[in-house]
A = this chain, B = another copy of it.
Amino acid sequence: MPATDNKTLAPQRWEALRALIRDRGVIRVEDLRRELRVSAATIRRDLDELERRGGIRRVHGGAMSVESRLDEPLFADKRSLAAREKRRIAEVAAAMVAAGDTIYLDGGSTVLELARLLRDRTNLTVVTNSLQAALELSGRGPRLIVIGGELRRLSQTLVGPLTRLVLGELHLDKAFMGTIGFALEEGLTTTDPSEAFTKQLVMRQARQVILLADSSKAGKVSFARAGSWDEVHVVVTDRQVDGAFARELAKKGPRLVRA
């Protein structure tokens, strides 16, 4: 029975919504619908509006007050998008790691995938600036050396001038690098100059530089230059990369491997 009290205007409903969310912390659309005697569509519109004004956060199935903890991590997630490709690329890369090698693992999700594959290798030394890679290898696996530096939150990597200190002391057989974009003319580019600086250092210290980058990075140009093609020896990417692009790239120097 549609009760008589639903003369509530939108601003009043908003008050009620805010109160409920504040009290309970988290609440479902379905509960709000029953409680306030309006349709779910209206609830959603209200929640969208309230979220726009701040104080609450929408989640699937309901909403929560923004101070009810749960701090969203900063790095966005396109992991599932190219997960398959990344995995394949990492597998090819893993096959390039020989016993006794000293290798470097850069940041980025593809390289992280490689770290995962190396978790059971022994007789191997891994040097990295990636907290996530370090975490992946922290339980067991190869000897692990973390280079010092300042944490860049977005990428969870250690970057900046301090990285030169440890890197300067080490010689690397192979460096597996990630990137935001790689393009024919511009080479490797990334968003952060400190990150780019550290990548440059690494590539200088490594006997062989291997870029791991799925096709979505091809042709993309970001802010800071991280390296040019004469420093890269191998590029491992997936089959979806444009054929013409691949041919032109090969002319620049690096060997191209399509996983």
Contact = CB atoms under 8 A, between A and B. Distances in A.
Interface of A: 4, 7, 9-12, 14-15, 26, 28, 30-31, 34, 52-54, 57, 59-62, 64, 69-71, 73-74, 77, 131, 134-135, 137-140, 143-151, 153, 156, 158, 162-163, 165-166, 169
A131 B132 CA distance: 10
A140 B154 CA distance: 10
Contact of A140 (B71, B140, B143, B147): B71
A144 B151 contact: yes
A77 to B, nearest CB: 8
Contacts of A134: 131, 151
A30 B137 CA distance: 26
Most interface-central of A30, A34, A131 (chain B CB within 10 A) = A131
Task: Determine chain A's interface SS by DSSP, over half rule.
Answer: mixed
Given A59-B10, A69-B15, A146 B144 contact: no
Contact of A166 (B11, B145, B166): B166
B151 A162 contact: no
Given A145-B148, A148-B166, 19 more contacts: A9-B28, A9-B62, A10-B60, A54-B73, A57-B135, A74-B139, A74-B140, A131-B135, A144-B150, A144-B151, A145-B149, A145-B162, A146-B146, A146-B148, A146-B149, A146-B158, A147-B148, A148-B148, A149-B166
A5 B210 CA distance: 54
Contacts of A4: 31, 34
A147 B195 CA distance: 17
Contacts of A137: 151
A78 to B, nearest CB: 13
5 smallest CB-CB distances across A and B, nearest first, come from A148-B148, A148-B166, A165-B165, A144-B151, A147-B148
Nearest to A79: B52
Nearest to A52: B73
Contact of A145 (B54, B151, B169): B151
A43 to B, nearest CB: 14
